[in-house]
Amino acid sequence: MKTEPEKNNDSIWWNFIESLSDEFINQTGFGLYTHITPLDVHRIYKEFQQHKAPIRHFTREYVRSYV
């Protein structure tokens, strides 16, 4: 059974993945895993956690810098 903080972390993780994928699709026409590996996604998520920026802002800026 998951505790409440674990549920919140899962929710943030999935929101991050969805936002990152949406940004790649919007800016390139292709999804997230066309461009980066699952290991890269984990690394990017760790960066996101350190920056404390809103998910949409962080993912938009990341994809812009990637493209």
Query: pTM of the predicted model, to two decimals?
Result: 0.83
Q: What is the Cβ-side half-sphere exposure of residue 47, based on CA atoms within 13 angstroms?
A: 11
All structural domains of the chain with their residue ranges: 4-66
Residue 61 pLDDT class (50, 70, 90 cuts): very high
What span, in angstroms and rounded, lies between the C-alpha atoms of 64 and 39? 20
Residue 9 pLDDT class (50, 70, 90 cuts): confident
**What pLDDT, in 10s, does the model give residues 20-50?**
999 999 999 999 999 999 999 999 999 999 9
